[in-house]
Structure 1
Amino acid sequence: MAEKFERHRQPWKPDEIQKLHQLARKGMALKAIAKVLTRSEESVKQRAKEDGLSIAKLH
């Protein structure tokens, strides 16, 4: 069963973007980053792509 995210299509806040960059640099997996930021994996993946970040594809 997929988790339901209450924050559907919310704009990214600067502190969330900073946290995303931090976690991506540490080599954290996409699923883990999504959970920490309480965002969908797709949302995290899209934002990382926009910012030119590479995220580990481990689950």
Structure 2
Amino acid sequence: MAKDDFVRHRQPWKSEELAKLRTLAAKGMGLKAIAKALTRSEESVQDRAKTDGIGIAKLR
């Protein structure tokens, strides 16, 4: 699967998505689970969390 196949590429973040990101991160969910719940890439979620100062649990 090529990177060009990703449909949601570079979509702006909606306020509902940001609220859900904060909620899931506060519950202690991992990056992969949050990305799946928001249907966004892990990199996108990680970048946005860093921008907004939201800490995501590092699950091992």
Normalised TM-score (structure 1): 0.88
Alignment gaps of 5+ in structure 2: none
Query: Could you say what the CA RMSD is over the residues aligned between the two structures, in angstroms?
Result: 2.1
Give the structure with the higher percent helix.
2
Mapping for residues 1-59 of structure 1, pairs under 5 Å: 5-58=6-59
User: Cα distance, 1:5 vs. partner?
Assistant: 3.4
The size of the alignment, in residue pairs, is 59
After the TM superposition, which segments of 4 or more aligned residues of structure 1 sit over 2 Å from their partners?
none
AA aligned opposite 2:19: Q
**What is the letter of the counterpart of residue 23 of structure 2?**
Q
Structure 1 portions without partners, runs of 5+: none
Q: Percent of aligned pairs with the same residue?
A: 70
Larger Rg: 2
Amino acid in structure 2 at the alignment position of 1:34: A
Within 1, Cα distance between the matches of 2:6 and 2:36? 10
TM-score of the two chains, using structure 2 as the length reference: 0.87
Letter in 2 for 1:30: L
